[in-house]
Amino acid sequence: MNIDYNKLKTRSRLIRGIRDFFNTRDFLEVDTPLLSPELIPEPSIENFRTRLVSPYNDGHELYLIPSPEIWMKQLLADGSGDIFQICKSFRNSEQISPVHNPEFTMLEWYKTGITAEENITLTEELTAHLALPSTPEACRPPFRQMTMEEAFVEFAGFSLEENIEFPALTAQLRAHQIPAGESEGWEVLFHKLFLTLVEPELPQDRPLVLKNYPSRLKTLSKDIPGTPWSERWELYMRGTEIANCYTEETDPVKIREYFRSESLEKTDHALVPVESGSSWVEKLAGFPESSGVAIGVDRLITALTGDKSIQGVILFPLDDILPISKKQPE
């Protein structure tokens, strides 16, 4: 075991700095469960499943949360006001890499009465508050801003809005010699184009807010009326996604439809099936106008310290503690 205690002390200071930032702005810090009997259906995320074993009943299937959203939104609907949380989150079926660990630390906050656009400023202020003397200029505010449409025009060489229908998107894949299966859906095709042509070319000289994602990427963010875009952005630092932000959807009809369609998708394709009961939607009655941001704390600390991998700023990364496989190469 080789722990750099100077990095550990820096991490501790930065997490204290996060708490100081939100406490001075009258956010309430909350501490919600890591286990849940149901999850928000997100087909792009695989989950960890476990079981409550009890001598008093038949037991229950439980899941490790991929983010605290399922609990925090219930608090918002109950009238909590502005809230934040720093907690562990879990994503299954992902590689262990310089930017991935199945167990990671998440910062999530919700501010009422603002939009995703206004939350950019709050995120800039947080980053400025946390910046160290050694923080690279590429990870300091001000943030550069670019829409998804602008990014496609500049880096992929075509307008996404003009090619957003399935046949035109498929034609762009062929034109750029990107393989596409006949049964692959719109989201898969979009991500192939984005990850191949756009994301590797995003500017890295300072943090980048990439905003106005296609509304066909199903999330719980509001759509921008009269456009094919949603009120969503992601923050990149040195080419790595750090944060995700929505103007939160408040329409119960749209939230219920999201649950219905995404539950079907997840049931059909998930490696780990989960319960996604519609009862959660009913608990959001009275959900306020708000914007939420989720930040990968390990990635943020890596960026602010100028490190190259989250493995250097977390204790006991999974690839260090897993038993060495005894399987020999065939």
Q: Could you read off the pLDDT of 225-273 as tens digits, one per residue?
A: 999 999 999 999 999 999 999 999 999 999 999 999 999 999 888 999 8
Same domain for 152 and 193: yes
pLDDT higher at 96 or 290: 290
Question: Does 100 fall in a domain?
Answer: yes
Residue written as tokens 């550990």? 8
Same domain for 131 and 17: yes
Same domain for 81 and 193: no
Tell me the pLDDT tens digit for each residue of 54-103: 888 888 999 999 999 999 999 999 999 999 999 999 999 988 999 999 99
Question: Does 24 fall in a domain?
Answer: yes
CA distance 71 to 52: 19
Q: Residue 181 has what pLDDT?
A: 84
Same domain for 150 and 135: no
CB 143 within 8 A of CB 121: no
Mean pLDDT of the chain: 95
Domain that includes residue 196, residue range:
146-205
Question: Does 222 fall in a domain?
Answer: no
Total Cβ atoms within 10 A of residue 74: 15
Same domain for 158 and 134: no
Tell me the pLDDT tens digit for each residue of 135-167: 999 999 999 999 999 999 999 999 999 999 999
Same domain for 116 and 156: no
**What CATH number has the domain bearing residue 29?**
3.30.930.10
pLDDT higher at 280 or 57: 280
Own/partner long-range contacts of 78-81 (Cβ < 8 Å, ≥24 apart): 79/286, 80/28, 80/30, 81/28, 81/112
Tokens of 84: 């934040």
CB 69 within 8 A of CB 55: no
Question: Does 150 fall in a domain?
Answer: yes
Same domain for 151 and 101: no
User: Which phi and psi (to 5°) does residue 327 adopt?
Assistant: -70, 130
Same domain for 175 and 83: no
Question: Does 220 fall in a domain?
Answer: no
pLDDT class of 121 with cuts at 50, 70, 90: very high
Q: Residue 55 has what pLDDT?
A: 87
Same domain for 107 and 162: no
Same domain for 136 and 71: yes
pLDDT for 1 beyond 70: no
Same domain for 151 and 129: no
Which SS3 state, helix, strand or coil, does residue 168 take? Answer: helix
Question: Does 283 fall in a domain?
Answer: yes
Same domain for 258 and 129: yes
pLDDT for 21 beyond 80: yes
